Structure 1
Amino acid sequence: MEIDIEFILENMKKYLAIPSPGGYTRESVLKAKEDFEKCGLHTKITNKGALIATLEGKNKDEEVVITAHIDTLGGMVKGITNNGRLRYAKVGGGSWGAIEGENCYIITRKGKKIRGSIIPSMASTHIYGGEGGNAIRNETNMLVRIDEVIKNKEDVIKLGINVGDFIALDTRTEITESGFVKSRYLDNKLAVAIVLEICRYFKENNIIPKYTTHFYISNYEEMGHGVSYMPEKAKEIIAIDVGIVGEGQESNEFSVSIAAKDKRSTYDFEFRNRLVNIAEENGIEYAVDVYNFYSSDATHAVIQGKDINFASLGPAVDASHHYERTHIKSIINTTKLLINYLI
């Protein structure tokens, strides 16, 4: 089984270059729609703005769903200070320390993109000393400094910036010679690129999956309500989402991570075991893990009352919701497991 890792990485970089904090995802969804249609899939955009791309299978009476969310963390303008700085409201989770010092775009209501940087109010130790510079970072003292000539609040408003405008951080995407992939928002643009590679693989190898498969590109996962529509015949859902690498976790950056439990729910034991068996039968490196502060589109679906069996797996990421990193081996193992599940 030959996985086109360059195809995955190029598509990942393309999606990462399109800002899509939760609530501002239309451009990225339309680009994914275009890419799936190039692979010959029928597509549909839901009322909520998510994308469903369908790959016809041999069995049309029972169907499966594979999800990947295209929305990311980000920010929103909470207010404008008298001296022309922007107050920052989080979109999604993550720590304040994860965004300090990052460059960003402020995206106005009319689509204008204006550069800025995220800094604490007491950034300069030459002014505030070490104690001030080490103050706790929170919503009251983390501000966006706009890269325009601004003296006051009125100057900001004249630029077209208002409360409710989105803030998108630079991703700083880098792929090293040793095979590491580093970027903000690997969670979960990488999963969208993996889904596209699955579609390419089936099309170019003239393979029909066992079941008709709906690839659900959700757009509110980071808000906790990504999957709200379910195809009538769907019997199983797999959420592709990042595995968590770090102290106390079993996941590593080279294997596919298979979730046994997240913060919201345990995953179905038989379904999880079937995925483990597929991995072992096909020589795919895997790790089973339990996550502390985490939920997926699969658990979102069942908590909403959908009658569907559910699992979650994905490439393992170090420093999730921060400056994230994985390895191409984990990406390949994830893709192979999903393809073998569908065959």
Structure 2
Amino acid sequence: MRIMPETVEKYREYYFDTVKKLLLTPSPSGYYREVMKVVKELAEAEGCVFYLTRKGCGVITVPGRDRERAVGACAHCDTLGAMVRSVDSAGGINFTTVGGPSLPSLDGEYCTVITRDGRKYGGTFLSKSPAVHVYRDSGTRARDCDNMYVRLDETVKSADDVKALGIENGDYICFDPKTTVTESGFLKSRFIDDKASVACLLTAVHIMHDSGFVPETDIVMLVTMYEEVGHGASYLPRDIESMLGVDMGCIGDDLQCTEYDVSICAKDSRGPYDYEMTSALV
């Protein structure tokens, strides 16, 4: 099935609706239940079989004419995030990162702390020298885990006040995605890596279902939840002849393509990808 430009335009609204649902659902690596509920509802609405692995990754099967064979595609729905490390005597939250976020970019960013029983509290990432009016080093102090904290949007003056809210060490801290779709059609958000790709796969499923297209073989789509910490699609649920990974592809300064093209990765820092598949794609 070839996707033509007019098809892309026809399903543009579905895509943006889907990607916004994903982006607005918190899902730092390992925190999968909320976002997988969204993925499950979207997949099952298209007549697909969906199940969760024990690891919390979603598996979507699009039935094909030959049910004995399968090809695969994968994208990750986990994002960068943080976790409560400790609470200081004044009620500030010290944190540790989940994945590798650029901490200077988080200074002043809003966030949500999620407790084990599902309560959510707003907060802000701040430098420990936040105000230029007070701290001479406010502009020069390092922005790292030792020199930043989370200030809760609650009246707390001690560690006990924070504990009374149900917040404990190990609770997830989720960054505000700041999701916006501009009038000119651009999507601006944190976590386009890689929820935009998951939305692409779900939109492809929607197009196939809407048009009545049945693929030659089963298509198994794996939506992983641990890519940002290094072990996303480390397991495949069944014999799959080939696997296409869809992810954010940064464009290097000296490469041929632009941000308006699909970036086909011949290799990454760890080595080359399958030669036959990349040859077919380019």
> Common fold, TM-score beyond 0.5?
yes
What residue ranges of structure 2 are gaps of 5+ in the alignment?
A: none
Q: 2:54 aligns with which of 47, 59, 73?
A: 47
Q: Which has the higher contact order (CA 8 A, sep 6+)?
A: 2
Per the alignment, in what secondary structure is the counterpart of residue 6 of structure 1?
A: helix
Corresponding residue for residue 151 of structure 2: 145
Q: Give the superposition deviation at 1:147.
A: 0.9
Q: Cα–Cα, structure 1 residues 192 and 22, in superposed 2: closer, same or farther, change >3 Å?
A: same
What code does the residue aligned with 1:75 have?
A: A
What code does the residue aligned with 2:37 have?
A: L
Q: Cα–Cα, structure 1 residues 248 and 126, in superposed 2: closer, same or farther, change >3 Å?
A: farther
Corresponding residue for residue 281 of structure 2: 275
Matched, 1:197 2:197: no
Matched, 1:100 2:107: yes
Q: 2:96 aligns with which of 74, 81, 89?
A: 89
Q: Give the superposition deviation at 1:41.
A: 0.6
Corresponding residue for residue 188 of structure 1: 194
Alignment of 1:215-226 (within 5 A): 215-226=221-232
Per the alignment, in what secondary structure is the counterpart of residue 263 of structure 2?
A: strand
Q: Give the superposition deviation at 1:250.
A: 4.3
Q: Give the superposition deviation at 1:204.
A: 1.3
Could you list the per-position Cα deviations for residues 178-222 of structure 1 after superposition, in whole angstroms to 9, with x for gaps in the alignment? 222110011111111111111111111111112211011111111
Hey, what's the Cα distance between the residues in 2 that align with 1:251 and 1:154? 54
What code does the residue aligned with 1:66 have?
A: A
CA contact (8 A) 1:244 1:251 kept: no
CA contact (8 A) 2:126 2:149 kept: yes
What code does the residue aligned with 1:189 have?
A: K
What code does the residue aligned with 1:61 have?
A: E
Per the alignment, in what secondary structure is the counterpart of residue 155 of structure 1?
A: helix
Alignment of 1:1-343 (within 5 A): 1=4, 2-3=7-8, 4-129=11-136, 131-245=137-251, 247-276=253-282
Hey, what's the Cα distance between the residues in 1 that align with 2:252 and 2:139? 28
Q: Give the superposition deviation at 1:251.
A: 4.3
Aligned length: 275
Q: Give the superposition deviation at 1:47.
A: 1.1
What residue ranges of structure 1 are gaps of 5+ in the alignment?
A: 277-343
CA contact (8 A) 1:57 1:211 kept: yes
**Normalised by the size of structure 2, how large is the TM-score?**
0.93
Per residue, is there more strand in 1 or in 2? 1
Per the alignment, in what secondary structure is the counterpart of residue 235 of structure 1?
A: coil
Q: Cα–Cα, structure 1 residues 110 and 249, in superposed 2: closer, same or farther, change >3 Å?
A: farther
Per residue, is there more helix in 1 or in 2? 1
Q: Give the superposition deviation at 1:232.
A: 3.1
Could you list the per-position Cα deviations for residues 268-310 of structure 1 after superposition, in whole angstroms to 9, with x for gaps in the alignment? 122101011xxxxxxxxxxxxxxxxxxxxxxxxxxxxxxxxxx
Hey, what's the Cα distance between the residues in 2 that align with 1:39 and 1:149? 46
